[in-house]
């Protein structure tokens, strides 16, 4: 393991340990508070929004997802196809949800694959520059690169609790900077990318 990968792994583990230590009731309350902040995220009717089904101690963004859907968004969730690729399958009311890799749930194979215009992105850690550490598999970096190759530039918002912030995420050439982070303290924007 390279020194940078080892440092990222350590930062990831520390941030996730802090997140895991948050009281369950507090995480639920903050997840609901973050859903109330959805009003600050502009959504046009029919806009495709990718989200994620929460696992472990992640922010439960289901209330946020459903608030965006109530404002006209079409929702989709990631589906892992193989060791390198995720696609985003449409999530509609009443559709079957199936077990996915990483201990999460998502739409079944017959759900349409959509290209998101707004991405709500899970993360393990982030810094004040918008650099993120994911869970280590690189799925989102590759999915975003694929969207860029298709000429798409989705708005990207990382989702985390404030305790997941670290002083500095080491940079790697393939890393995608997330220009916005939504946490319990609000929506923060980094740089001048918007």
Average confidence score pLDDT of the chain: 91
Binding-site residue set for substrate: 58
Query: Has residue 193 been placed in a domain?
Result: no
The pLDDT value given to residue 191: 66
pLDDT in tens, 122-171: 999 999 999 999 987 788 989 999 999 999 999 999 999 999 999 999 98
CATH code for position 79: 3.40.50.10420
pLDDT in tens, 30-88: 999 999 987 789 999 999 999 999 989 999 999 999 999 999 999 999 998 888 889 99
Query: Has residue 191 been placed in a domain?
Result: no
Binding-site residue set for ATP: 8-12, 132-140
Q: What's the predicted TM-score (pTM) here?
A: 0.92
Query: Has residue 36 been placed in a domain?
Result: yes
How many structural domains does the chain have?
1
What domain range is 47 assigned to?
A: 3-186
Binding-site residue set: 8-12, 58, 132-140
Residue partners of 125: CB distance under 8 A and separation at least 6: 11, 12, 14, 15, 16, 132, 133, 160, 164, 165, 166, 169
């Amino acid at each position: 393991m390279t020194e940078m990968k080892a440092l990222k792994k350590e930062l990831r583990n520390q941030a996730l340990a802090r997140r895991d230590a948050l009281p369950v009731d507090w995480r639920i309350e903050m997840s609901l508070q973050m859903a109330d902040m959805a009003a600050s995220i502009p959504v046009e009717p029919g806009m495709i929004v990718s989200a994620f089904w929460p696992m472990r101690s992640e922010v439960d963004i289901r209330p946020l997802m459903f608030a965006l859907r109530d404002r006209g968004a079409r929702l989709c969730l990631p589906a892992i196809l193989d060791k390198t690729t995720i696609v985003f399958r449409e999530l509609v009311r009443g559709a079957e949800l199936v077990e996915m890799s990483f201990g999460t749930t998502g739409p079944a194979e017959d759900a349409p694959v959509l290209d998101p215009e707004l991405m709500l992105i899970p993360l393990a850690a982030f810094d004040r520059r918008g650099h993120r550490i994911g869970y280590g598999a690189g799925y989102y970096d590759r999915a975003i690169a694929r969207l860029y190759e298709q000429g798409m530039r989705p708005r990207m918002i990382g989702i985390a609790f404030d305790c997941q912030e670290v002083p500095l995420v080491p940079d790697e050439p393939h890393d995608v900077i997330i220009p916005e982070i939504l946490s319990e303290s609000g929506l923060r924007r980094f740089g001048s990318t918007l």
